[in-house]
Chains A and B, each alone.
Chain A
Amino acid sequence: MTAVGLRATAAYAGLAALAFVMLFPLLYAVSGSLMTTQEISTYPPAFLPLHPRLDNFRDVLHALPLPRQFLNSLIVAACVTAGQLVTSVLSAYAFAFLRMPFRNFVFGVFLATMMVPWEAILIPNYLTIADNHLINTYPALILPFLAAGFGTFLLRQFFLTFPRDLYEAAQVDGLGHLRFLWLILVPLSRPALAALAIWSFLSAWNQFLWPLLVVSQDQMDTLQIGISRLQDVEAATAPNFILAGTVLALIPTLLLIYFGQRHIVRGLTAGALKG
């Protein structure tokens, strides 16, 4: 074998080993979800099911309204993403192109919101939700997250990279702010918007503590809470059952990552990093 061939083989072997290690939790989850309770409770542990069966999936779907919870997560994440895109585009535009007194101070205020840990304001927000009788509703899961300091920051940085002439030419042409924003800026900023959308969507999708607090009905739970509830099942805590629920919850995001990866990377390259 030539030196080049040898190197390529070594590279494949190394990468395959690496991929196996990184994928192991997924592989085990799929394998375990096909086992019986007896099979998964053996020692030393079994890695492959002897007689793969789909009963666990049926049981999980029967036990928890996972499709409904998936829909809840989807609605919440989509609304949060849309909201953050709109509010961030508007405020970022103002910071990047418009002059007003105390602009830098106000921008500092926007940045400060990024640094407020959600946990630090959890209790008062919880009380606001409870006082307004919003427990167990979509607004409880969505309203607090419709604006994002991070989104404003990211888009402002991106807008600033456009030559100022562009803005001034638009002014001369009598193009209004919103039309300039919509016709020129938004189309040019698609990568940055994509990066923000991915970030917003995933942070909303992964929320845990907040939905745990403001929802107390399994019909209104998000997927993440539903998954963690698989462990609460008294006296029925069987790993195969939990893994089946996990695999079901993973399918949509796995598809997104595996098939949408090129777009995600493009978004990340253009937006978050160089902006």
Chain B
Amino acid sequence: MRRQPLVGALSRATGRERYSARETATAAAFMAPSLLLFTVWIFYPLGRSVYLSLHGNDLFGRPARFVGGAQFQELFASPSLREAIVRTAAFTVLTVVPGLVLGTLIALALQAPIRGIGVFRTLLATPFAFSVATASVIFQIFFNPGVGVFNAILGLIHLHPVGWLTNPATALPSVALASVWLQLGYNVLVLSAGLQGIPAEIYEAARLDGARGLTMARRITLPMLTPTLFFLLVVSTVVAIQSFGQIHILTRGGPAGATTTLVYSLYLNAFAFGSTNYGLASAQALVLFAIVVVVTALQFGFLERRVFYR
């Protein structure tokens, strides 16, 4: 089985073909439900976002007057956009990388040839049962600087308490910590599945060639796991960039803006504290869209070539 690389699928020339009108009509009919839904809920709103971003708002957030590129000017002029992008990037790295690395290590540990490993595999998938909301409220209790569990554990080993969410320096990593834990359940499941999908014959052949331990991991396991890792990379990057719930529950973008990512900043402008600056928020939304397109394109363009497809 071979997966079509995304870019390849697009660029693959189909040549001059004769199309049957009947087949074309059938194909159009099959695509119609999706296309209709996309038009109403994705393409039309994208257009409306552009419209909103070019207008100022009245008291209730209705577009009131044409302002041209003023919203974009305001956005690009203030340092807060750049800061929000940097924070979003940092948060993405802080969640995606540990999520993949720890996920791979745990999945490898779960390959141990011992009895009852299935029980461990089930238990270690536990975070998968948590939603963003349930995980966040529990971590909020852990992070409480006064009576929280984390500082109590630090106290037991005679370390000084940490501000976790109250210190601007540690807030973003702390939110990332909760997110990594949450993401690990899914990652472990997917990576375990990927490892189990590697045929035993390949290991056997490598063993006959004298490969052992780390060599085996580096030469066989990891390359064979790259499609899985790539899949997780793309998915968890998009998830990280669009993270909202954990920031909303844990920090509301604070302290002092330390966890105000692009998505959260958009939320603050459009909906929070009685704000209805839909114009500015829409301008931010378009910037966010551009970023996701570029990041995804880069991932496919640079990384997918390194992915080993069978």
Asked if A and B touch directly (CB within 8 angstroms), the answer is: yes
Instruction: Identify the A interface with B (CB < 8 A).
Output: 8, 11-12, 14-15, 18-19, 22-23, 25-26, 28-29, 32, 41-45, 47, 86-88, 90-91, 93-95, 98-101, 103-104, 106-125, 127-128, 143-147, 149, 152, 157, 160-161, 177, 205-206, 208-209, 213, 223-225, 227-228, 230-231, 239, 242-243, 246, 249-250, 253-254, 256-258, 261, 264-266, 268-269, 272-275
* Pair B292/A87 contact, Cβ less than 8 Å: no
Complexed CA–CA distance, A64 and B148 (Å): 26
Q: Within 8 Å of chain A (Cβ to Cβ): is B31? A: yes
Q: Within 8 Å of chain A (Cβ to Cβ): is B214? A: no
Complexed CA–CA distance, A239 and B149 (Å): 12
* Pair B194/A120 contact, Cβ less than 8 Å: no
- Mark each residue of chain B from 261 to 291: 1 if its CB lies under 8 Å from any CB of chain A, else 0: 0010011001100000010011001101100
Complexed CA–CA distance, A207 and B95 (Å): 19
B residues within 8 A CB of A205?
A: 131
Q: Within 8 Å of chain A (Cβ to Cβ): is B49? A: yes
Contact flag A22-B137 (CB < 8 Å), given A8-B114, A119-B288, A123-B49: no
Q: How far is the CB of B186 from chain A (nearest CB, A)?
A: 8
Contact flag A94-B124 (CB < 8 Å), given A117-B242, A265-B189: no
Q: How far is the CB of B184 from chain A (nearest CB, A)?
A: 7
Residue of A nearest to B18 (CB): A99
- Mark each residue of chain B from 172 to 201: 1 if its CB lies under 8 Å from any CB of chain A, else 0: 000000000100110001101110110000
A residues within 8 A CB of B149?
A: 28, 45, 47
Interface centre among A22, A91, A112, by most B CB within 10 Å?
A: A22
A interface secondary structure, majority:
helix
* Pair B123/A19 contact, Cβ less than 8 Å: yes
12 A-B pairs with CB atoms under 8 Å apart are A43-B146, A43-B147, A86-B33, A90-B33, A119-B242, A119-B244, A119-B263, A206-B132, A208-B133, A225-B133, A243-B138, A258-B122
* Pair B241/A117 contact, Cβ less than 8 Å: yes
Contact flag A268-B288 (CB < 8 Å), given A160-B4, A254-B129: no
Q: Within 8 Å of chain A (Cβ to Cβ): is B23? A: yes
Q: How far is the CB of A163 from chain B (nearest CB, A)?
A: 12
Contact flag A121-B121 (CB < 8 Å), given A113-B42, A272-B231: no
A residues within 8 A CB of B141?
A: 28, 32, 239, 242-243
Which of B1, B9, B156, B281 is A161 in contact with, Cβ under 8 Å?
Answer: B1
* Pair B41/A143 contact, Cβ less than 8 Å: yes
* Pair B147/A115 contact, Cβ less than 8 Å: no
B residues within 8 A CB of A14?
A: 109
Complexed CA–CA distance, A265 and B289 (Å): 32
Complexed CA–CA distance, A106 and B242 (Å): 26
B interface secondary structure, majority:
helix
- Mark each residue of chain B from 31 to 50: 1 if its CB lies under 8 Å from any CB of chain A, else 0: 10111011011101110110
A residues within 8 A CB of B12?
A: 104
Interface residues on B, range: 35 or more
* Pair B45/A227 contact, Cβ less than 8 Å: no
Q: How far is the CB of A33 from chain B (nearest CB, A)?
A: 10
Residue of B nearest to A162 (CB): B1
* Pair A257/B285 contact, Cβ less than 8 Å: no
Q: How far is the CB of B142 from chain A (nearest CB, A)?
A: 7
Additional pairs, 15, CB under 8 Å, beyond known A94-B27, A125-B41, A250-B129: A22-B126, A43-B147, A87-B37, A90-B30, A98-B24, A100-B24, A101-B19, A117-B241, A117-B289, A209-B245, A213-B271, A243-B138, A257-B128, A261-B189, A273-B190
Contact flag A100-B19 (CB < 8 Å), given A18-B109, A32-B141, A118-B242: yes
Contact flag A91-B109 (CB < 8 Å), given A41-B147, A123-B281, A274-B197: no
A residues within 8 A CB of B129?
A: 250, 253-254, 256-258
Complexed CA–CA distance, A119 and B231 (Å): 22
Q: Within 8 Å of chain A (Cβ to Cβ): is B302? A: no
* Pair A231/B249 contact, Cβ less than 8 Å: yes
Contact flag A128-B37 (CB < 8 Å), given A90-B31, A254-B126, A257-B128: no
* Pair A23/B289 contact, Cβ less than 8 Å: no
Q: Within 8 Å of chain A (Cβ to Cβ): is B28? A: yes
Complexed CA–CA distance, A205 and B289 (Å): 24
Q: Within 8 Å of chain A (Cβ to Cβ): is B14? A: yes
Q: How far is the CB of A202 from chain B (nearest CB, A)?
A: 8
* Pair A91/B147 contact, Cβ less than 8 Å: no
Residue of A nearest to B144 (CB): A239
Ranked 4 nearest A-B pairs via Cβ? A124-B45, A124-B48, A121-B45, A147-B37
Contact flag A98-B27 (CB < 8 Å), given A19-B120, A119-B266: yes
Residue of B nearest to A93 (CB): B30
Which of A123, A152, A274 is B282 in contact with, Cβ under 8 Å?
Answer: A123
Complexed CA–CA distance, A15 and B46 (Å): 48
Complexed CA–CA distance, A12 and B282 (Å): 53
* Pair B124/A19 contact, Cβ less than 8 Å: yes
Complexed CA–CA distance, A88 and B41 (Å): 16
* Pair A272/B6 contact, Cβ less than 8 Å: no
